[in-house]
Chain A
């Protein structure tokens, strides 16, 4: 069996290689291409839909009936219906041909969440309706007005941290009658970075190495600068319980001491966790530290990012975490 299977797969590869050489139009779209992508006749494919096949069968039956009863008006009717069906093929082609994908952007997202992809299409001089887009098993319908750009939003589940390529995107339509499916593969040369998953409820931020490992940085008494709303990750002993009870929501004492030059989120310090868990923990801490507007350093083996704070730093840290190679087997 395995010999046969191997033979079949090698044969398939040979066929693909020949196809690649002989029919570039069919196969080249496996290669990523640069934006913008204009759909034209070289890359629009068409097949009848199931409904189209059913309708064709029905038309044949109707035509046979009309011919059998030598009923010309009925024959005329079936001819008209069949002709309109054919014309719908051309209308469908016009819907797809000339459509251009101008750009794709993605929102920041973490693995396990949803990635908001935004496709920007341009329809050119005519209005196009009944367009569909399939990307990574998600489907959406849209229409592109004439002389304007159409933004199409798709929420795609982000599964794994690291670079994610949308791969081949299928733009298709069965406009106007649903009897023919016309489609085109879009393979934009794009990659989006999916940030690592965040540990749902991480332990408090690690303290200054001088205070001992894993111990949250204590705010020195008397140094506190005021109260602020509780943010996830705030150490429990910083919660101002009495003030919170009066106020009705959790309040935290903010202390000068939290601006700690030495807050260090270290890969090596988490040796007791497994590979992915470490990444999740660090990602969570980066978010906590960033939310608290702390200055922090991310240490990954021998690479060090920071110390710094702010959005750019957060992105740099998350990017570094996202791109950590998978755990060695």
Chain B
């Protein structure tokens, strides 16, 4: 059956809506191309009322396919997959003319909607996508023939779709809760966010964090079992960088765990749990400095000799781990020769001015601590903190120290460590997150990507590795609050109130993340705890799932059949039967094969000259007329007949035996 204009427009609008949920995720050319194709098709159909010709469709299809392959390298995986789905949807619309095509296009739109969620699973987009199901269902309803003759057809269609959606929610939630989650993916790696995700890197050069520092997305959330550490100790250690090649600092990669630096705690360790957003990086940030690998250790988590934690695989999904950390500690009180040499190494022929300055300080000072203090005083006196730091050339530290004198944590930590090494003090760069926003309502610490930070550690005799944050010498506020509130942060992007609002809203995001996004196999196993099953197995979940679905469908069936008891009862027949019952009660035996006329003659004999007899005669005649002489008796006649039958009083059973 051919689509009406209205039906076609509804299908098109739904498809556009589905493509719109991919906004910002499609490559720009495709994001332009798909809606343009769809709109052109609308205009084309309006003019020609036909499919787009095959000779046009086939080359277009291959062009789109080739362009997608050129963009992504292949057509598999999440991003190329959703791009392909959007392109195919547009192609489907080009040939949509029948109800069958339209249904296929709408089914495809559902797929496109779903693939939008594969690339981002925030609260807002999920709600938007789920809500888009209602217009999609309404468009399917609109494909039905013989629309209801109401003035607002769309309203009844939307109502039907909304009812289906709403009534389906219990079933959907039951299925969502109990569909067994996969412990390991069936195909591919769950990763796929790499390109889109900012985060810490194992390489640091001045300016490399700029993108990160203006990224407001959450990096991790921390809940503390006991006391909450003070703001100045909220350093989340992630990577330790030893090697400097003149331009950038590199993380050492894996080191023998046997040579772990000793750790002596000076105060009660802090118990806490970190919920790490998908980072597509293997490392696990931990409050400076973690005692051991996480208590509920992901099997593949390891601790480096420098007390940094990492897993073997990238964190493609939400990860939760519990840790203990010491904020007051002695780390690596002895330093072996290899590490000392490594912590002092500087690339040759770089930053001559800096080396000279450090040597001068060495001569002037009597202790390592004094040299460090000199460096911090220098920063404090004439440097300023800015995210819009000037670009640096070959002698990056020289230029920063003696020329530009403006930068952010990377510049400061890098320059500080180079200064220390040049003065003969073992030093290294540490990156991670610092600060965070404490939610009093949710009692958790929210750490955003913009809280990424780089600081330094120097090794002092009898003290071991000591954390020094050169940035705080310039901008203490940065350390006490967060990056954005210090200096020329991205306040130009949002006002402060906006930032507060976003922080408050994170509570909702956190609930969403914890309850929905992070509902993995492990969490699902605990769902049945109220029923006394502490670790539900897959078969138990399947049992619950199937019985839950069966129960809901049974309830729905019962509800649907509730009104089905109504039998077809003809009002005239019912009244006639009532009359028969009355006659039987008065002693006239009934004979099933008897017609009304014979019944009447028998009743006459039975009643003899009882005064009710003429009325009975009238009633039977009335019935015969209504039943046999009228094609379709009028309802009011039937009603009158029924009333008279009801009013009829016949003599009792004893009458005939007189």
Contact = CB atoms under 8 A, between A and B. Distances in A.
B228 interface: no
A169 interface: no
Contact of B560 (A38, A83, A94, A174): A94
Interface string B480-521: 000000000000000000000000000000000000111111
Contacts of B632: 103
Interface stretch (B88-96, B167-175, B433-441, B470-478): B167-175
Contact of A84 (B103, B145, B168): B168
A72 interface: yes
Nearest to A105: B631
A270 interface: no
Nearest to B563: A98
B169 A80 contact: yes
A78 B1 CA distance: 29
Interface stretch (B146-154, B213-221, B267-275): B146-154
B104 interface: yes
Interface in B631-656: 632
Contacts of A100: 568
A37 B141 CA distance: 27
Contact of A73 (B117, B172, B185, B561): B117
Determine which residue in A80, A127, A131 has the highest number of CB atoms from chain B within 10 A of its CB, and name it.
A80
B126 A86 contact: no
Interface in A25-83: 36-38, 40-41, 51, 54-55, 58, 61-83
Contacts of A54: 104, 107
Given A73-B516, A84-B133, A62 B176 contact: no
Contact of A175 (B144, B171, B175, B179): B144
Contacts of A103: 632
A292 interface: no
Interface in B175-225: 175-176, 179, 181-182, 185-188, 190, 192
B385 to A, nearest CB: 38
Given A91-B163, A177-B137, A129 B114 contact: no
Interface string A163-200: 00000000000111110000000000000000000000
Interface string B28-46: 0000000000000000000
Secondary structure at chain B's binding surface: helix, strand, loop or mixed?
Answer: helix
Contact of B110 (A62, A79, A142): A62
Interface in B122-171: 125-126, 129-130, 133, 137, 140-141, 143-149, 156, 160-161, 163-165, 167-171
B333 interface: no
A101 to B, nearest CB: 10
Given A70-B317, A77-B130, A86-B168, A97 B113 contact: no
Given A142-B146, A177-B140, A84 B165 contact: yes
A59 to B, nearest CB: 8
B121 A74 contact: yes
A98 B171 contact: no
Determine which residue in A63, A72, A103 has the highest number of CB atoms from chain B within 10 A of its CB, and name it.
A72
Contact of B148 (A63, A77, A86, A127): A127
A87 B171 contact: yes
Given A84-B165, A129-B147, A75 B188 contact: no
Interface string B555-578: 011011101101110100000000
A97 B567 CA distance: 11
B553 interface: yes
B560 A58 contact: no
Secondary structure at chain A's binding surface: helix, strand, loop or mixed?
Answer: helix
A267 to B, nearest CB: 34
B111 interface: yes
Nearest to B170: A83
Contacts of A97: 560-561, 563-564
A145 B149 contact: yes
A81 B169 CA distance: 9
B395 interface: no
A106 to B, nearest CB: 14
A130 B185 contact: no
A88 interface: yes
A139 to B, nearest CB: 10
B179 A69 contact: no
Contact of A131 (B146, B172, B557): B146
A141 interface: yes
A64 B186 contact: yes
A92 to B, nearest CB: 10
Determine which residue in B111, B185, B518, B557 has the highest number of CB atoms from chain A within 10 A of its CB, and name it.
B111
Contact of A41 (B100, B145, B561, B570): B561
A151 interface: no
A63 B568 CA distance: 44
B78 interface: yes
B118 interface: yes
Contact of B107 (A55, A70, A94): A55
A178 B140 contact: yes
A224 interface: no
A64 B113 CA distance: 15
A129 B129 CA distance: 28
Nearest to B171: A83
A76 B172 contact: yes
Given A80-B168, A143-B149, A63 B556 contact: no
A67 B117 CA distance: 12
A176 B110 contact: no
B317 A68 contact: no
A275 interface: no
A90 interface: yes
A36 B568 contact: yes
Interface string B530-574: 000000000000000000000001001101110110111010000
Contacts of B99: 178
A121 interface: no
Contacts of B568: 36-38, 100
Nearest to B317: A70
B179 A79 contact: yes
Nearest to B100: A51
Nearest to A152: B146
A296 interface: no
B100 to A, nearest CB: 7
8 contacts: A51-B103, A69-B78, A69-B190, A77-B126, A86-B168, A130-B145, A143-B149, A176-B137
**6 closest Cβ contacts across the A-B interface?**
A83-B168, A141-B145, A130-B144, A83-B171, A83-B172, A73-B126
Given A51-B107, A67-B181, A83-B175, 8 more contacts: A68-B182, A68-B188, A69-B78, A76-B176, A87-B168, A87-B171, A91-B163, A132-B145
